[in-house]
A and B are shown apart, each in its own frame.
Chain A
Amino acid sequence: MKMIQPTSGPKSGENFWLWFLKIVTGLFIILLLLIHFVVNHFVAEGGLLTYADVVAYYRIPIVPIMEIAFLIFVVSHALIGLRSIILDLRPSRPALTAINWLFTLIGIASVIYGVWLIQVIVSRGSA
């Protein structure tokens, strides 16, 4: 019988940990979105309708932490998902390596920018 050897692919392809991270971040996104909607519509009195309301809301210590976590989960989930789609286009190994680095940089830059933005909003509340 002709046997096919399993392709022991390089680590740059799809793998368990990326898949698992995508699933876990997806679950956390749903959870945090749920908390976000409940707080905005049912907990905050009258809803967060004005800029001042939002700034005041960010003064609650858990809120910026939650927003930063949400940012990290969304960025990770989106970039891993986009990478999965790009894999369907069968990029060459060098191209995939470049994509991995590009997405890592985009992810880090997005999170740094987001954290800075949240920090700015929080600091305006304390002014």
Chain B
Amino acid sequence: MSTTKTKWTVNLKVYRKKGQKAPYYDQFTMEVDPDEYVLDAIERIWAFHDRSLTFRHACHHSTCGACGMLVNGVEKLTCITYIRDVVEDGGTIVIDPLRNFPIISDLVVDMSLFFDRMEMVGQRQVIPIAEEIVGSSQKAQSAGNGKEYLRLSDCIECGMCISACPIAATNPDYLGPAVLAGAQQSGLDKKPELLQIVDQENGLWRCHSAYECTAVCPSNVDPAWRIMDLRRQVTSQRFKRLFR
């Protein structure tokens, strides 16, 4: 006979904020399956306990990047975060909105500036089919120069790297890891105009190399490495210009 409990009782402590009212936490004690995801528990709060709870979600399989939140103080994509990985039976899960974004309501943050910045560095939200260079079924595994394609196109723009970034925490004007990584992927050689966007006081020189962005990225984009690579590219361009 199996002794593994299939139901756990956990407390969900959820950040709440509406309008100009002071923020507070609501607590919900729930029976959950530990193999459920944190997002499932949040949805159940909305469905059965409090319809006024607001949060973002869509795909439920880590593709849309909408459900990024702080789970016990750490940035997590809640649709792929197992309850058993963040709490024990009888324990508490604290859910907060992402940091370094304005809070619209409860767990929903305003990411419009972030999305605008992504577009500014050439990472568009929607690419028309006519502009797609190759169909997904025909994508080569190599860029043709012997190097494999890297994975930035897998950036799901969840904003978790911005939330974890200590510089974004102190300076809202800092472009942030995803945007700088986006510029790196767009390529300074293909888009020279990106240089003046990234090579400025709130651009790539502000990074303190904490690598928190890479630690929380759910899509292995490795934004910190991309910022370092962008620095290498800009340094190289600066010196080439000196001797031109």
Contacts and interface: CB of A to CB of B under 8 A. Distances in A.
Contact of B167 (A2, A13, A15, A88): A88
B171 interface: yes
Contacts of A4: 113, 116-117, 120
B202 interface: yes
B170 A89 contact: yes
A87 interface: yes
A3 B202 contact: no
Given A6-B196, A6-B200, A90-B171, A14 B238 contact: no
A7 B166 CA distance: 20
Interface string B151-194: 00000000000000011001101000000000000000000000
Interface string B84-97: 00000000000000
Contacts of A9: 200-202
A18 to B, nearest CB: 7
A7 B173 contact: yes
A126 interface: no
A15 B196 CA distance: 12
B234 interface: yes
A112 to B, nearest CB: 29
A15 B201 contact: yes
Interface SS of chain B: helix, strand, loop or mixed?
Answer: helix
Interface in B104-160: 113, 116-117, 119-120
Interface in A1-27: 1-4, 6-10, 13-16, 18-20
A23 to B, nearest CB: 9
B29 interface: no
A97 interface: no
A2 B199 contact: no
A53 to B, nearest CB: 40
B202 A16 contact: no
B200 A7 contact: yes
B197 interface: yes
Nearest to A85: B208
Contacts of A6: 120, 196-197, 200, 203
Contacts of A20: 235
B200 A88 contact: no
Contacts of A89: 170
A80 to B, nearest CB: 11
B56 interface: no
B44 interface: no
Given A7-B201, A14-B206, 6 more contacts: A6-B200, A7-B173, A7-B202, A10-B201, A16-B235, A16-B238
Interface of A: 1-4, 6-10, 13-16, 18-20, 84, 87-90
